[in-house]
Amino acid sequence: MTKTLTLDLALTLPDIPDEQDACVCRLTQLLEARGLAKAHLIRQEQGLSLCLHYDPKRFTVAQLRSLVKASGAQISARYHHKSLHIVGMDCPTCATVIEHALARMPGVLEAVVSYGAERLRLEYDSQRVSYSQIVKRIEALGYTLSDTAGERGFWSRHAELVLSLLSGVFLLCGWLFSVMTANAWLPLVFYGGAYLAGGFNTLRDAWRGLRTGTFDIDTLMIVAAAGAAAVGAWAEGALLLFLFSLGHALEHRAMDRARHAIEALGKLAPKTALVRRDGTEIEVPVQALERGQQVVVKPGQRIPADGVVVTGLSAVDQSPVTGESLPVDKQSGDKVFAGTLNGHGELLVEVTKLSGESTLARMLELVAEAETQRSPTQQFTKRFERVFVPVVLLGVGLLILVPPLFGADFSEVFYRAMAVLVAASPCALAIGTPAAVLSGVARAAYLGVLIKGGVHLENLGQVRAVAFDKTGTITRGRPEVTEIVVLDGDEQQLLRTAAALESRSGHPLAQAVVQAAKARGLEWERAGELEATAGKGIRAVFAGETVSIGNLAYFAADAVPDAVVAEVRRLEETGKTTMLVQSGQRLLGILALSDTPRPEAAAMLQRLSGLGIEKTLMLTGDNPTVGHAIARAVGLDEVRAGLLPEQKVEAVAELAAAYQQVAMVGDGVNDAPAMARATVGIAMGGAGTDVALETADIALMADALDKLPVAVGLSRASRRIIQQNLWISLGVIGLLVPATFFGFAGIGPAVVVHEGSTLLVVFNALRLLRYQ
């Protein structure tokens, strides 16, 4: 017989970025190899835990803890993960060059580079390769690394554009001199200058690629420009390099807009905070804040750390984190987030998270990680490029060699081959999808939706059916008094009497009664000691009389009139929980409570339908009566009630079989298995719990359902733009290659259309940054 033990995974493997990390698998395999029956992950309220099944005859709990700690330390010491900012990339090919170079290093387990985000996701075995060796390899290629994105100097930001414009000036001068003078060498001098200025970055990037065995777009352009010069077409070769370098510079600056959309969020958190100590206020760096310290946030200042309001009343603009359009009122006991803007009142906030652990910091970290996760279309274009570029080079070689054997003019054939090289360069294909993913993820973060990768952005754009958890998702997750039936006396007496007893109980239903009384401004005296009967009701003395509150089963059947019983049954049939309130021998009335639907739920479902969602389904462990009542109130298509967690998984699987692409929306804890089974798992309230951030593919940062149509609409728009960019890219190649092959277009028209299509797909992608 085995026993189980659960341990906090973060304490065992402190450096893992998420549960999919390979080190989790390594740990479970290592523990099972050392004699444990089974080791796996489970989700709990506090987050991910490691569940261990062991034979108590072989291990004590103390021995087991020591074994896990030692195994985790062994893995953490050996395998390292880093997310690094890369300085010096100026084209998508740069990312490929770095990936290929690192993949050949022994000990590098994963190296994924995002040109759009300028990030490297790295995992390596420190027993086989050191971090310094990896850094030297990257620097040898001409790039540099940093742990965070830093400010670039003027020259590094504008060098590409300056060289491109200089190339254009040389090209113009060369053309003018060719028209104005008979001197053949003078135009060549300026064309040579255009080659040097326009080809500097292109030649450098091509050389980096060739050193790692990569034939890329830059290589094709350099070969084409050299070929044009070889046949005396200096002007067209210079035009090629000028337009190519100008296109690169404009493309790079456009991509910076998308990057800055994320970086701007990171700059919202203030650098310093006012800490209150012994009645005085001391300014300290935010990084020096410790849990439990109290910081003063004055009106108009940004909150420096995640925390809880101790004193004060104000409205806080939470849009940087949750995307909420209106400020949220905050008072004692409410959570606040770093980077949000305090309104009119002064707040005293107790720090609950360090600066690097804040919701904003975690959100930015996950977005940076998401941008290195390739979408299905990105994976397709990578595979396409890997085959296409060598095929183009081979085809051009044959075009140069074969026709002259049959008497064709070599110069004409060679020039035509160079034009084909330009036409076949898949620049737009390489940049179109990453630009759309980067823009989509950045815009989603700004709107309060965290999308953890291009794959989830694309998948949500294809979803046809959505399943919802009930409690805390479709409903508020807390009961409220929804109906009051007075039988004797008045409503105030009924509520005051009920609240006097229920205020001494911590039960959620009791607290709902107290809140209803407080909302009406009622006050009451303290009731006597409670006598509770589990699952039925309570009794105490109040105002000189014995007061009883409970369900029908708590009262003798013959003590409750038939008319009252019928009224209770009617209320319960609508999904409500009922309480009878009796004072002495008088039945004062009936309180009906229910977990009410979120006010935005009905409108949200209508918007989803307008976006093309064909099926909405509620999955709940609650009874069918309650489930159907809630579903009718908000307009859900179907309800499946009384489900266990594994039955929810089965329901999602059935939905997927019928609709292929499905989403599951829940709280990120109890619904984790069903969310994992769905195409896309969406968690509510990412700003309120780390569990939601960790468990879902997409997190709605605000605890509000109206962000779900935003996420779906943005994903659909992103997918449309990705598909548009894909067809534009392939269409241009499909038209230009035959046109240049048969001589209908030369290098000049080819490079104009080529660079035009590249800029078109980038600016098409940037439209997502304005998505409403």
Residues in contact with 700: Cβ distance below 8 Å, sequence separation at least 6, in sequence order: 448, 449, 682, 683, 684, 685, 686, 707, 708, 711
**Angle, CA of 296, 298 and 304, to the nearest 5°:** 55
pLDDT band at 498 (very low <50, low <70, confident <90, very high): very high
Q: How confident is the model over 677-721, as pLDDT tens digits?
A: 899 989 887 766 666 566 678 888 888 888 999 999 999 999 999
Neighbours of 356 (CB within 10 A): 10
- Give the CA dihedral 300, 304, 306, 312, nearest 10 degrees: -40
**Amino acid 123: pLDDT:** 85
Least confident of 93-102, 122-131, 507-516: 93-102
Residues 709 and 613: their CA atoms lie apart, in Å, by 10
Give me 543's structure tokens: 């105002």
Answer whether residue 8 shows pLDDT above 80. Answer: no
The pLDDT assigned to 261 comes to: 67
CB–CB of 91/205 below 8 Å? yes
* Section 32-36 average pLDDT: 77
**Per the structure block, which two tokens stand in for 696?**
């879902």
Sheet holding 272-277, edge to edge: 280-285, 272-277, 294-297, 347-351, 307-311, 335-336
Is the pLDDT confidence value at 150 over 60? no
Average pLDDT, the chain: 84
Instruction: pLDDT band for 85, please (50, 70, 90 cuts).
Output: confident
Q: What are phi and psi of 113, to 5 degrees?
A: -115, 135
Query: For residue 684, what is the enclosing H or E element?
Result: strand 680-684
Distance spanning both ends of the chain, measured CA to CA: 58
pLDDT band (50, 70, 90) for residue 139: confident
Question: Averaged over 404-418, what is the pLDDT?
Answer: 85
pLDDT at 208 over 90: no
pLDDT-derived band at 514 (thresholds 50, 70, 90) equals very high
Assign 44 a pLDDT band (cuts: 50, 70, 90): low
E-assigned strand segments in 16-78: 38-44, 47-54
Q: 133: which residues sit within 8 A by CB, 6+ positions away? A: 105
- As a whole-number percent, the residues of the chain with pLDDT over 90 amount to 24
pLDDT tens-digit readout, 729-739: 999 989 998 99
- In this structure, the strands spanning 586-597 and 615-619 are unpaired
What is the pLDDT confidence band of residue 362, given thresholds at 50, 70 and 90? Answer: confident
State mean pLDDT over 152-175.
83
Contact 19, 41 (CB under 8 A): yes
| 90 pLDDT tier (thresholds 50, 70, 90) | confident
When pLDDT is averaged across residues 550-557 and rounded to a whole number, the result is 80
pLDDT band at 371 (very low <50, low <70, confident <90, very high): low
Lowest mean pLDDT among 82-91, 344-353, 491-500, 506-515: 82-91
Q: Is the pTM of this model over 0.85?
A: no
Residue 187 tokens read as 């135009």
pLDDT classification of 43: cutoffs 50, 70, 90: low
Query: What is the reported pLDDT for 695?
Result: 66
- Residue 442: predicted pLDDT: 85
Q: Is the pLDDT of residue 625 over 70?
A: yes
**DSSP result, 544-592:** TEEEEEE-GGGS-GGGS-HHHHHHHHHHHHTT-EEEEEEETTEEEEEEE
Q: At residue 466, does pLDDT exceed 90?
A: yes
Per the rule left: phi > 0, alpha: psi between -120 and 50, beta: everything else, 639 is beta
Residues whose CB is less than 8 angstroms from the CB of residue 587 and which lie 6 or more positions away in sequence, other chains included = 487, 488, 560, 561, 564, 580, 581
SS (H, E, C) 287-319: HHCCCCCEEEECCCCECCCCEEEEECCEEEECH
Inform me whether the pLDDT recorded for 434 exceeds 90: no
Query: Can you state the percent helix, strand and coil of the chain, rounding each to 5?
Result: 50, 20, 25
What is the arithmetic mean of pLDDT over 407-436?
Answer: 83
pLDDT at 361: 80
pLDDT: which is higher, 480 or 362: 480
Q: What is the Cα–Cα distance from 48 to 8, expressed in whole angstroms?
A: 7
- pLDDT value, residue 18: 63
Cα angle value 379/385/386 (rounded, 5°)? 90
In the predicted structure, residue 615 carries a pLDDT above the cut 90:
yes
pLDDT at 40: 78
Determine the Cα–Cα distance for residues 295 and 293; give it in Å rounded to an integer. 7
Residues 279-305 have pLDDT tens digits of 788 999 988 889 899 999 999 999 999
Q: What is residue 687's predicted lDDT score, i.e. its pLDDT?
A: 66
CA distances from 218 to 57, 113, 223, 464 (A): 65, 18, 9, 41
pLDDT digits (tens, 9 = 90+) for 165-200: 999 999 999 999 888 877 778 889 999 999 999 989
Q: What angle do CA 69, 70, 72 make, to 5 degrees?
A: 65
Q: Vertex 756, ends 755 and 761: CA angle to 5°?
A: 100
**Catalytic residue at 706?**
no
**pLDDT digit string, tens, across residues 221-235:** 888 888 888 888 888
**Shortest CA distance to 599 belongs to which of 520, 471, 705?**
705
Residue 46 pLDDT > 60: no
Enter the DSSP assignment of 668. Answer: S
Report phi then psi at 661, rounded to 5: -100, 115
Pick from 381, 380, 377: nearest CA to 455 = 377
Rounded average pLDDT over 765-772: 88
Average pLDDT over residues 386-407: 84
CB atoms within 10 A of CB 407: 6
| Catalytic annotation, pick one of 205, 218, 469, 595 | 469
Cα separation of 74 and 68, whole Å? 10
> How far apart, in whole angstroms, are the C-alpha atoms of residue 769 and residue 58?
59
Tell which residue, 427, 421, 392, 457, has the closest CA to residue 96: 427
Residues 299-334 as b/e (b if ≥16 CB within 10 A, e otherwise) read eebbbbbbbebeebebebbbbbbbbbeebbebeeeb
Q: What is the pLDDT of residues 726-768, one digit of tens each?
A: 999 999 989 998 998 888 888 888 888 888 888 899 889 889 9
Say which residue the tokens 């970290």 belong to: 365
pLDDT at 31: 79
According to DSSP, residue 215 is labeled -
